[in-house]
Chain A
Amino acid sequence: MYDYNDFDELFVRERVAQFRAQVVRRIDGSLTEDEFRPLRLMNGLYLQLHAYMLRVAIPYGTLNSTKMRQLAMIADRWDKGYGHFTTRQNIQYNWPELKDVPDMLEALADVGMHAIQTSGNTIRNVTADHFAGAAADEIEDPRPVAELLRQWSTDHPEFQFLPRKFKIAITGSPNDRAVTKAHDIGLRMVTKDGEPGFEVIVGGGLGRTPMIGQVVRDFLPKSDLLPYVEAIVSVYNLLGRRDNKHKARIKITVHENGLEKIRDLVEARFAEIKPGFGGHDQHLLADLERSFAAPDFIRKPVDGYLTARDADPVFRSWADTNLAEHLHAGYAIVSVSLKAHGATPGDATSDQMRVMADLAERYGHDELRISHEQNVILPHVHKSDLPKVYAVLKASGLATANIGLISDIIACPGMDYCALATARSIPVAQEIATRFEELKLEHEIGPLKIKISGCINACGHHHVGHIGILGLDRAGVENYQITLGGDGTEDAVIGERAGPGFAYDEITDAIERIVRAYLDVREDEAETFLQSYRRLGAQPFKDALYPKEDKADAA
């Protein structure tokens, strides 16, 4: 992975020193809150419902054991012994005290991390496929490009005051695990005449106006990537609306101006600025590609794995559910579920972080990833080590066999923490997961993604959940709207609203009715929920959701 050079090191240390002085001036009263707020937000510090929250960037979701252990240390020393991994592959600490935050940032700088541009109208942490560098279906590891974008966008003077926040996602695989079509810019690696390049998607986004991104360039050579992305952000910076916060994202700019106009402007700007890049970006990219070189994969027999599969059905169930195909024979990608039934989605205790760090160091070529689905990935585990890895995970409550299943729920922090939320998300996720665990149905149900947001801003990606849940405040009472048929993959679709919402104590029953309807109508066990929905439409599920007496009366 990428290690900070002297420039990075100096930059983050200077920012910590600046922020330390700013905090002193805020506490002694020299700075008002209005003066201080933009300064703290630039450093990832929010004030939430009950406390401050520090959002730390995990660039493209990649960590090593040293960084993970430091995140655990920070959780123990300055927070409450846990951290919350988010849908943007970041980690949030929910309970820091203001005076401690500079020390937390210093501790992050010690391991080459920071919280810069995790807030504000800037280019945010670049997210990537969490299987990057390991996936069997990958064309190339997208992380060198992601790191190039991180370096370019960090403190970029032109892009510190964009009309609104700006999110870039990148995948090196045709199977999109990074929700690229719901980002301001999505970069999906494709090949043309054997040469890798990118399909460039703009104007995707969720929130109150969900939109699927559109292809602005179907093939962009890799060497043109940086000037092209700069051209897009540059066009948006001038054209994007600043009169209305709700119409300021690039999705609205693309929608209002039309893709053709945006494309023309971007291509013109690209032609203008490209010569100025002078190849320096390509030299840098070549260096970065070396730092992301694949580990030295080991060739050894996998007999132990096969024996363990035969001997232990619980291990086999976990392996069938939580492993993904690795590019190298003999290896597997391990998804560590942070979704134990009834637990808070995405939360890991400091002890669990250390356990995962130890496993990565011992059995995983020292690599870890955070997924946007709020799980942790050990991308490179030799199959012969899987029984040992599983045993350690199990002893730490980390071996829940539910990746991609109904209890592997994305949930934003919701009104348990977030100042913007209109309803709770976490307890809804906890109750749904617990319900289906009690019913022992989740493996029978098969792949099904439930995503929950506690407000219209859609941090929980509810629009692209197969079943999406949106928590709202209806006349002072929590109310949950259901959307159906959403999909966050390369075939991205915004889910369709099912009908009137449900009260907090009705929502789990409502979800169970949808799922039971699916089990009734599916052609066979191989047909997933989403496939049934696409074959039959929303009606059977709406009928299950709203078994109205007036229908019976009318009949």
Chain B
Amino acid sequence: MSRAFTPKIVTANALLEGDVIYLTADDRWSRNLAEAELIDDEAHAQLRLLDADRQKSVVGAYLAEATAGLKGPEPVHFREAFRAKGPSNYAHGKQEHRKHV
């Protein structure tokens, strides 16, 4: 019996800064999880991951589980929640940049 496919996003780290990035539906890499393409088809997810792996400016692309939220995809696992936000001991990383927006 096959399990239902849980929706995924393609995520990686940016080559230059190491920052967490997400693949968007229009083939950009966004720093913001809410802009990621939420993929609900397994074959499409694998193709998108292959697309991501071919790009020179990204490191370590993989598929991560996500769910649809009001403003876009939201993390399922706490690891992805930390990646989307930044560390909990200082307001560094993405949460730091968000302050200035």
Which residues of A does B touch, CB under 8 Å?
Answer: 26-27, 29, 33, 47-52, 80, 94-95, 97-99, 344, 415-417, 424, 426-427, 430, 473, 476-478
Q: Which residue of A lies closest to B59 (CB)?
A: A33
Given A415-B79, A415-B82, decide whether A50 and B20 contact each other with a Cβ distance below 8 A.
yes
B3 proximal to A (CB < 8 A): no
Residues of B within 8 A of A430 (CB): 89
Given A97-B18, A98-B16, decide whether A49 and B60 contact each other with a Cβ distance below 8 A.
no
Q: What 0/1 readout, one digit per residue, does chain B (65-101) give for beta carbons within 8 Å of chain A?
A: 0000000000011110011001111101110000000
Which residues of B does A touch, CB under 8 Å?
Answer: 13, 15-20, 56, 59-60, 76-79, 82-83, 86-90, 92-94
Residues of A within 8 A of B20 (CB): 49-50
Residues of B within 8 A of A49 (CB): 20, 79, 82-83
Q: How far is the CB of B66 from chain A (nearest CB, A)?
A: 13
Given A33-B59, A80-B92, A426-B89, decide whether A51 and B78 contact each other with a Cβ distance below 8 A.
no
12 interchain pairs, CB-CB under 8 A: A29-B56, A49-B79, A50-B18, A50-B92, A51-B13, A51-B18, A51-B93, A80-B92, A416-B87, A424-B88, A427-B88, A478-B78
Q: How far is the CB of A423 from chain B (nearest CB, A)?
A: 8
Residues of B within 8 A of A33 (CB): 15, 59-60
Cα distance, A52 to B13, chains bound together (Å): 9
Q: Which residue of B lies closest to A37 (CB)?
A: B59
Residues of B within 8 A of A29 (CB): 56
Please count the residue pairs between chain A and chain B whose beta carbons lie under 8 angstroms apart in the complex: 70
Residues of A within 8 A of B79 (CB): 49, 415, 473
Residues of B within 8 A of A94 (CB): 87, 92
Cα distance, A149 to B86, chains bound together (Å): 39
Cα distance, A216 to B82, chains bound together (Å): 45
Residues of A within 8 A of B76 (CB): 476
Q: Which residue of A lies closest to B82 (CB)?
A: A415
Cα distance, A476 to B15, chains bound together (Å): 28
Residues of A within 8 A of B77 (CB): 476
Q: Which residue of B lies closest to A31 (CB)?
A: B56
Is A50 touching B78 in the complex (CB atoms < 8 A)? Answer: no
Cα distance, A47 to B88, chains bound together (Å): 18
Given A33-B59, A50-B83, A427-B88, decide whether A476 and B13 contact each other with a Cβ distance below 8 A.
no
Q: Which of B60, B78, B82, B86 contacts A47 (CB 8 A)?
A: B60
Q: A27-B16, A49-B79 are in contact. List 14 more A-B contacts (CB 8 A).
A: A47-B18, A49-B82, A50-B92, A51-B17, A51-B19, A80-B92, A94-B92, A97-B16, A98-B18, A415-B78, A415-B79, A416-B88, A426-B88, A426-B89
